[in-house]
A and B are shown apart, each in its own frame.
Chain A
Amino acid sequence: MPSFDAIAGLLLGTALAGYLAADVWLRFGKNRAGHWAFGLGWCANALTVLVNWLACGHPPFGSMVHVLAAVSLCFLPAYLFLRLSQGLSWLGASFAFTSFVPLLGPLFMERDMFWRRMPALQSPWFVPHVMAYLIAYALATVGFLLALRALRAQRAAPDQALKLIAGVDAVARLAFPFMTFGLLSGALWAETAWGRYWSWDSKETWALIMWLLYALYFHCRRSPALRRFALPVQIAGYAALIVTFLFVNLIPRLGSVLHAYTK
C-alpha cells in the first residue's frame, strides 16, 4: 500500500502541472482549457491537503509543507470571487501562476506527514486564525505581482497601469479584511492561551508592521497628495509579509519565541 507521503507527492505533482498549464493557457488566451487546468490543479491540491489532514489527524498547518499546500488552495476561490463579483477575469493567469509557486516548496522539502499538534494549538481559533492569514497572504502575493507590473507600466503604458492598479485595489480590498481578522483573532486567542493579547513577540510585531503598511496603502490611494506612494507601499507591505511568514521562522536571530510551534 502506498504511503501518505507517496500519495501526497503524486498529488502535488498533479497540482503543479495543472496550475502551470492553467497559467500558460490563460496567458495565451485559451481560457476554456486554462480554467479546466486551473480546476484540475485545485482539485489535486485540495486532495493533497486532505491527505495531509488524514495523515496527521489535525487541520494540516503544522509545517511549512502543510502551510504552502494550504496557501495554494486559496487562490482559485479568491479568483472566482473577484471574477464573479467584479468581472476581473483578466486576473486568471496571475492567480494560476501564484498558485503554482508555493507548491514548488513542498516538492523539495522533507514532508513530515505526522505532525503532532501541541495543546496550545488546540483551540477553536486555530483554523480561522491560520486560514484568514493564508487567504490574505495568497491575495497579497497577487497584489504584489500586479503592483510590480503597474510600476513598470506607469511610464510606458499608462492605460495598462491604470487597469493593473484597479486590480491591485480589488485584490487588496479582499485581502485586508482577512489580514485584519488574522491579526486580531490572534490577539483574542493569545488572551485565552497566555493571558496576554499582545506580547511584542517578533512575529506579532512584523504582522503589525505588515498590517499598518497595507492600511497605509489604502490611505495613500485615497489622498491625491499621497497617491504616488501607494504602489511602493504595497510592495513594502509584501516585503513585511515575507518577513512575517518566512524569515521570522527561518532566521534564528529574528526568531519568534511564542510562535515557534511549526517547523
Chain B
Amino acid sequence: MRDRLLSAGAVATVALILFLLAGAIPVPGGNAAIVFQTPAFLAAAAAGAALLLAACFLRRPPLRQIAFALAHGGLVLLMAGAFIDWRGEERIDGVRLPVGMGHAIGKLRDAAGRTVDLGFTLEVTDFSVSFYDPVYSLFRPDASAPGGERFVRKIDSRVPATLRQVPGGALDVADLQDQGHWVPERRLADGWILRKQAEIPRWFEAGVRTTCDGVGRSAGLAVNHPVWVNGWQVLLVSYGGEAMTYVELAFKKSPGRRFVVAGIWCVIAGVFWLCLVLPLARKDRHAVL
C-alpha cells in the first residue's frame, strides 16, 4: 500500500511539475500562466491533495506520524485555502485616493463593474515620502550617438570616489545641490553633462482614518504594513501626482486566508521535524526519511 501510494504520489508530482514547466516557459505574445486555471491542472492538484491526505492515514511511529501529518496535511490545508480564495476572494486594485482632502470612500467598483460595499469608510489624511541620495548618469558629447550624447558611467552621489571622476575637476556633493534639493542636471566642461536618474524612494507611508460601525480609527499604512478593517486588507501600492497628491490602494477580502496561513506553518513545522529533528534523534542517522 505504502509503495503504491509513493508511486502514485511521484506520478502526481511529475504531472504537476510538467504543468508548472508549461506555465513557466514563455510563449510568444501569450500568458503561459493561464495553464494554472485549466481544469486539467486543477484535477492534477486535487489528485495530489487526495494522495497527500491518504498518506497521512498510513500507520507510523507516533512522533513520525504527527510530523508526517503536519507536513502533508498542511499542504492539503494550504491548497484548500488557495482554492477557497480562488473561488471567493474579493479584490479591488488601482484605487486612487486624494491625500488630505477629506474624501472618504465606502463603496468601490470591482474589475467586473459591480459596486462593492466595504462596510466602512476610509480617507487618506496625510502622506510622506523620503528618497535616497540620487545616482547621476554621466554623458559625453558624441555627434554619432542618438541625441548627440553617449552614456559614460554612473556617478553615485554617495560615493566620493565617483564624484572625482568627472571631467573638468572633482565635484563635491554640494555642487549637485541647489537650496537643499538635488539638481536634475549639471553641465560640465567640454559639453559633458550629468543627469539625475529616477530617484529611489527610501520609504513612503500614508495616514488613514477609517470609520466602521460609527467607530473611528487612525492608522499608518505603508508597504509591508497593510491595515485590516472589517475583514478587508487595505494595501498601499503606490503614490503619484506632481506633489504626491494621491495614493494608490488595493482592497482585498480573503475567505481562505486562515487555511493558507495555518497550512503554511504546518508544512514548515512538519518538514523541519521530519528532516532535522527526527533523524538526529534516531540511532540510524543515515537512514532516509
Interface residues of A (CB under 8 A from B): 3, 5, 85-86, 113-114, 116, 118-120, 122-123, 166, 169-170, 173-174, 176-177, 180-181, 184-185, 187-189, 191-195, 197-198, 200, 202, 205-206, 208-209, 212-213, 215-216, 218-226, 253-254
Contacts and interface: CB of A to CB of B under 8 A. Distances in A.
Interface in B213-255: 222-226, 233, 235, 250, 252
B181 interface: no
B286 A194 contact: no
Identify whether the interface residues of A are mostly helix, strand, loop, or mixed.
Answer: helix
Interface stretch (B8-16, B138-146, B184-192): B8-16
Interface residues of B, number: 54
A200 B36 contact: yes
B223 A120 contact: yes
Given A192-B224, A195-B226, A195-B235, A224 B3 contact: yes
B235 A173 contact: no
A243 to B, nearest CB: 8
Given A114-B158, A180-B268, A184-B268, A216 B13 contact: yes
B6 interface: yes
A54 to B, nearest CB: 13
B7 interface: yes
A187 to B, nearest CB: 6
22 contacts: A3-B161, A119-B204, A119-B222, A122-B224, A123-B224, A176-B275, A180-B271, A181-B272, A191-B257, A193-B223, A195-B252, A200-B36, A205-B24, A212-B13, A215-B13, A218-B289, A219-B9, A226-B6, A226-B7, A226-B10, A254-B24, A254-B25
Contacts of B16: 212
Given A85-B280, A119-B203, A173-B275, 15 more contacts: A5-B161, A86-B280, A86-B286, A120-B224, A173-B276, A177-B276, A192-B225, A195-B252, A209-B20, A216-B13, A220-B10, A222-B6, A222-B289, A226-B7, A254-B25
A59 B200 CA distance: 18
Contacts of B14: 216
